[in-house]
Amino acid sequence: MARGKIRIDQIGDYVQDRIEQLMRVTVLETDNRVKMLSPVDLGRFRASWQVGENAAPGGQKPEGIYPSQLPIERLGYNRERIGNIYSVHNNLPYAEQLATGAAGSGSKTEVRYNPRRTVTNWASPGGGSSIQTDGPGWVQGIAKDMQQFVEVNAARIGKTYTRNRS
């Protein structure tokens, strides 16, 4: 609904629409952030991020070289709605190690993505190294940022309604 006065019988639809918009933006932004901050060797880890509705299903991307820009991969649904739980997940066997920033023993030590990073060697299945962009805890950092994003924008929805109500 457009900004302006809202009739009493439209309040529920207005709030539901705004919250669902916020959910869509949050899921898209979370997916984008984990992909962009994912350490990259050949791109399989970055390409394997998926979004599930009420579950974390899905397989694994085959080995190969992947592009840096990847669309969101929704599993079993096409639009976020109130009442569902959405998970952004990666099913590769080494995903947890890369996502939590556990140092590896790859053979290369060059810094490819963040020259200010003190730990430069992260394990990858190809024997090389995938350099962590923001260090240990980067996925948890994204989760915290997105939680704050939702809180701020949900409060804006309430303020917008309150301003338009008069």
| pLDDT tens per residue, range 56-97 | 888 888 898 998 888 999 998 889 998 999 999 999 988 888
Q: Is residue 32 one of the residues assigned to a domain?
A: yes
The one-letter amino acid at 149: F
Considering its fold, how many domains does the chain have in total? 1
Q: Is residue 108 one of the residues assigned to a domain?
A: yes
Q: Is residue 130 one of the residues assigned to a domain?
A: yes
Q: What is the pLDDT at residue 164? A: 53
Q: Is residue 1 one of the residues assigned to a domain?
A: no
**Mind listing the pLDDT tens digit for each residue in 87-139?**
999 999 888 888 876 544 444 444 444 444 444 444 444 444 444 444 457 88
Q: Domain range spanning residue 26?
A: 14-165
Q: Is residue 61 one of the residues assigned to a domain?
A: yes
Average pLDDT over every residue of 141-149: 94
pTM of the model: 0.72
Q: Is residue 157 one of the residues assigned to a domain?
A: yes
Q: Kindly give the pairing relationship between strand 74-75 and strand 49-53.
A: parallel
Q: Is residue 4 one of the residues assigned to a domain?
A: no
Q: Is residue 5 one of the residues assigned to a domain?
A: no
